[in-house]
Structure 1
Amino acid sequence: MKLRFQFLFFLLFSLNLFSQELLPFVENFTKSNYNGDNQVWSLTQGGDNAMYFANNHYFFRYNGVKWERYALPNKTVIRSVFAYQEKIYCGSYNEFGYWIRENGVMRYYSISKDKDFFKDSSKNEEIWKIFEINGAIYFQSFNEIFIYNEKSIKRVAVPFLISYCFVIDSKIYVASVNKGIYLFNGKDFTYIEKWGVIANNVVHSIDKNSDEIFIFTQKNGVFVEKNEVLQAWNHPINDALKSEVIITAKFYQKDKLIIGTASKGVYIIQIDSGEYININRNNRLYNNSVLSIAVDKENDIWLGLDNGISHIEINSPFRIFSDNTGELGTVYSIASTPKGYLLGSNHGVFTYENKALNIIPNSQGQVWNVAAIDGTFVIGHNDGTFLYDFKSYRKVNSLTGGWQLKKDNYQDRYIQSNYIGLAFFDDKNDLSKHKRLNTVYRPIKDFVQTGQNEIIASDSYRGLFKINYDDNLELKSYLNLTQKNSIKNDFGVKIFKYKNDVLYYINSEWYYLDSVTDVLKKYDLFNQNFRNINEVIPIDDSSFAIIKEGLFYIINQSKDKFSWKLIPKKYYEGKIINQETKIFKFNNQYLINLDDGFLQFESSKNDFTNQKVEIEAYLKGKILTNEARIPNNQSLNLHFVSEYFGNKKSTLFYKLNNQDIIPLPDGKLILNNLASGKNRIEVYFTNGFEFIKTDEFTFTVLKPWYLSFWMVLLYFTLVGGILFLYYRWNKIRYQEKIKLKEEELKHHREIMELEMEAENKLKLQDYEKHILEMQVQSKASEVAGKSLSIAKQSEMIESIQRILEEEKNINTVKTKIKKAIKSNAINQREWENFEKNLIQSHEEFVQKLTNTYPELTSKDIKLSIYLRMNLSSKEIAPLMNISYRGVELHRYRLRKKIQLNPDESLSKFMLNL
Structure 2
Amino acid sequence: MKLKFQFLFFLLFSLNVFSQELLPFVENFTKSNYNGDNQVWSVTQGKDNAMYFANNHYFLRYNGVKWERYSLPNKTVIRSVFAHNEKIYCGSYNEFGYWKRENGIMRYYSLTKDKDFFKDASKNEEIWKIFELNGTIYFQSFNEIFIYNNNSIKRVEVPFLISYCFVIDSKIYVASVNRGVFEFDGKNFIYIKKWDAVLNNVIHAIAKNNNEIYIFTLKNGVFVEKNEKLQPWNHPINEALKSEVIITAKFYQKNKLVLGTASKGVYIVQMDSGEFININRNNRLSNNSVLSISVDKENDIWLGLDNGISHIEINSPFRIFSDNTGELGTVYSIAASKNGYLLASNHGVFTYENKSLKIVPNSQGQVWNVKKIDDNFVIGHNDGTFLYDFKSYRKINPLNGGWQLKKDLYHDRYIQSNYLGLAFFENKNDFSQYKRLNTVYRPIKDFVQTGQYEIIASDSYRGLFKIKYNEKLELVSYLNLTEKNNIKSDFGVKIFKYKNDVLYYINSEWYYLDGVTDVLKKYELFNQNFKNISEVIPIDDSSFAILKGGLFYIINQSNDHFSWKLIPKKYYEGKIINQETRIFKFNEHYLVNLDDGFLQFESNKNNFINQKVEIEAYFNGKILDDEANIPNNQSLTLHFVSEYFGNKKSTLFYKLNNQSIVPLTDGKLILNNLSSGNNSIEVYFTNGFEFVKTGEFSFTVLKPWYLSIWMIILYFAIVGGILFLYYRWNKVRYQEKIKLKEEELKHHRQIMELEMEAENKLKLQDYEKHILEMQVQSKASEVAGKSLSIAKQSEMIESIQRILEEEKNINTVKTKIKKAIKSNAINQREWENFEKNLIQSHEEFVQKLTNTYPELTSKDIKLSIYLRMNLSSKEIAPLMNISYRGVELHRYRLRKKIQLNSEESLSRFMINL
Same fold (TM over 0.5): yes
Is the contact made by 1:18 and 1:325 (CA closer than 8 Å) also made in structure 2?
A: no
SS at structure 1 position matched to 2:303: strand
CA positional deviation for 1:61: 0.8
Q: What is the correspondence of 1:407-556 to structure 2 with a 5 Å cutoff?
A: 407-556=407-556
How many Å separate the matches in 2 of 1:605 and 1:616?
32
Q: Give the superposition deviation at 1:407.
A: 0.9
Q: Is the 8 A contact 1:382 1:400 kept in 2?
A: yes
Aligned partner of 2:577 in structure 1 is 577
Question: 1 CA distance for matches of 2:329 and 2:25?
Answer: 20
State yes or no: 1:114 paired with 2:106: no
Deviates more, 1:339-348 or 1:254-263: 339-348
Q: Distance in 1 between matches of 2:115 and 2:695?
A: 45
1:129 alignment partner in structure 2? 129
CA distance in 2, matches of 1:447, 1:813: 160
Residue 199 (structure 1) shift? 2.4
Aligned partner of 1:266: which letter?
Answer: V
State the alpha-carbon separation in 1 of the partners of residues 399 and 15 from structure 2.
Answer: 30
Q: Pairwise mapping of residues 226-305 of structure 1 onto structure 2 (< 5 A)?
A: 226-305=226-305
Q: Cα offset for 1:820?
A: 9.8
Question: What is the SS of the residue equivalent to 2:546?
Answer: strand
Say which SS state the counterpart of residue 750 (structure 1) adopts: helix
Report the residue type matching 2:434 in the other structure.
H
Q: Distance in 1 between matches of 2:815 and 2:356?
A: 187
1:602 is matched with which residue? 602
The answer for the alignment partner of 1:643 in structure 2 is 643
Q: Distance in 2 between matches of 1:455 and 1:95?
A: 78
Task: Give the Cα separation in 2 of the matches to 1:412 and 1:632.
Answer: 74
Code of the aligned partner of 1:663: P
Per the alignment, residue 59 of structure 1 pairs with: 59
For the residues of structure 1 that align with 2:151 and 2:436, how far apart are their CA atoms?
90
CA separation of 1:716 and 1:150: change in aligned 2, threshold 3 A: farther
CA distance in 2, matches of 1:668, 1:542: 36
Secondary structure of residue in 2 paired with 1:603: coil
Aligned equivalents of 2:775, 2:481: Cα separation in 1: 121
Does structure 2 conserve the Cα–Cα contact (< 8 Å) formed by 1:317 and 1:605? no
- Change beyond 3 A, Cα 1:198–1:768: same
Contact preservation (8 Å) 1:632, 1:702: yes
Given the superposition, is the C-alpha separation of residues 297 and 768 from structure 1 closer, same or farther in structure 2, using an over 3 Å criterion? Answer: same
For structure 2, the residue ranges without an aligned partner over 5 or more in a row are 1-11, 793-811, 843-913
8 A Cα contact 2:144 2:158, kept in partner: yes
The answer for the alignment partner of 1:91 in structure 2 is: 91
Summarize deviations over 1:585-616 as a string: whole Å, max 9, x none.
Answer: 11221111111111111116751100011111
CA shift digits 1:296-325 (9 cap, x unpaired): 001111000001111111111111111222
| Structure 2 contact 554–604 (Cα < 8 Å) conserved | no
The 10-residue stretch of structure 1 (553-562 or 746-755) with the greater mean CA deviation from structure 2:
746-755
1 CA distance for matches of 2:749 and 2:38?
Answer: 103
1:319-398 mapped onto 2 (5 Å cutoff): 319-398=319-398
* Alpha-carbon distance change, 15 to 520 in structure 1, aligned in 2, over 3 angstroms: farther
Aligned residue for 1:30?
A: 30
Q: How does 1:502-901 map to 2 (within 5 A)?
A: 502-603=502-603, 607-757=607-757, 759-760=759-760
Contact 1:15 1:357 in 2 (8 A): no
Unaligned runs of 5+ in 1: 1-11, 793-810, 842-913
Deviation (angstroms), 1:822: 9.5
Provide Cα deviations, 1:473-496, integer angstroms capped at 9, x if missing partner.
Answer: 111111222222222222211111
Aligned residues: 808
What is the distance in 2 between the residues matched to 1:176 and 1:710? 73
The letter of the residue matching 2:401 is: G
Superposition TM-score, scaled by structure 2 size: 0.83
Structure 2 equivalent of residue 203 of structure 1: 203
Q: What letter is aligned with 1:570? A: K
Kindly provide the amino acid, as one letter, of the partner of residue 430 in structure 2: D
Contact 2:382–2:400 (CA under 8 A) maintained in structure 1: yes
Q: Does structure 1 residue 179 correspond to structure 2 residue 179? A: yes
Quote the RMSD (CA, aligned, Å).
3.3
- What SS does the aligned partner of 2:472 have? coil
Does the 8 A contact of 1:136 with 1:149 survive in 2? yes
Distance 2:204 2:30 in 1: 25
Letter of the 2:178 counterpart: N
SS of 1:121 mapped into structure 2: helix
1:754 to partner: Cα distance: 4.6
The change in CA–CA distance for 1:676 and 1:59 in structure 2 (over 3 A counts) is same
Worse-matched range after superposition: 418-427 or 715-724: 715-724
User: Which residue does 2:869 correspond to in 1?
Assistant: none
Deviation at 1:367, TM superposition (A): 1.6
- Whole-angstrom CA distance in 2 between matches of 1:361 and 1:180: 55
Quick check: 1:169 aligned with 2:169? yes
Any runs of at least 4 consecutive aligned residues in structure 1 with deviations exceeding 3 A, and if so which?
Answer: 12-18, 750-786, 811-826
Aligned equivalent of 2:71:
71
Residues 17 and 278 in structure 2, CA contact (< 8 A), matched pair in contact too: no
Give the superposition deviation at 1:228: 2.4
Change (3 A) 1:596 1:776: closer
* Matched AA of 1:117: F
Distance 2:663 2:443 in 1: 37
The Cα offsets for residues 94-138 of structure 1, whole Å up to 9 and x where unpaired, read as 222211111111112222122232222222221111112222222
**How big is the shift at 1:421?**
1.3
Structure 1 residue 52 displacement after superposition:
0.7
Percent identical residues: 83
Q: Give SS of 2:401's match.
A: coil
Task: For residue 497 of structure 1, give the secondary structure of its aligned residue in structure 2.
Answer: strand
Letter in 2 for 1:635: S
| 8 A contact 1:15–1:358 mirrored in 2 | no
Q: 1:394 to 1:758 in 2, by over 3 A?
A: closer
Relative to structure 1, the CA distance from residue 386 to residue 766 in structure 2 (aligned partners, 3 Å threshold; closer, same or farther) is: closer
Question: In structure 2, what residue type is equivalent to 1:104?
Answer: G
Give the AA of the match of 2:255.
D
Moved more, 271-280 or 311-320: 271-280
Change (3 A) 1:489 1:772: closer
Quote the Cα distance in structure 2 between the aligned partners of 1:546 and 1:90: 48
Asked whether the equivalents of residues 164 and 176 of structure 1 are also in contact (C-alpha less than 8 Å), the reply is yes
Assess, with a 3 A threshold, how the Cα gap between structure 1 residues 328 and 606 changes in structure 2: closer, same or farther.
farther
Amino acid across the alignment from 2:168: I
Aligned position for 1:212:
212
Q: After superposition, what is the alpha-carbon deviation per residue over 1:616-646, rounded to whole angstroms, capped at 9, x for unaligned? A: 1222222222122222222222211110011
Distance in 2, matches of 1:569 and 1:283, equals 20
Give the TM-score normalised by structure 1: 0.83
Matches of 1:246 and 1:253 in 2, distance apart? 21
User: How big is the shift at 1:343?
Assistant: 1.4
- Tell me, in whole angstroms, the C-alpha distance in 2 between the residues paired with 1:646 and 1:58: 25
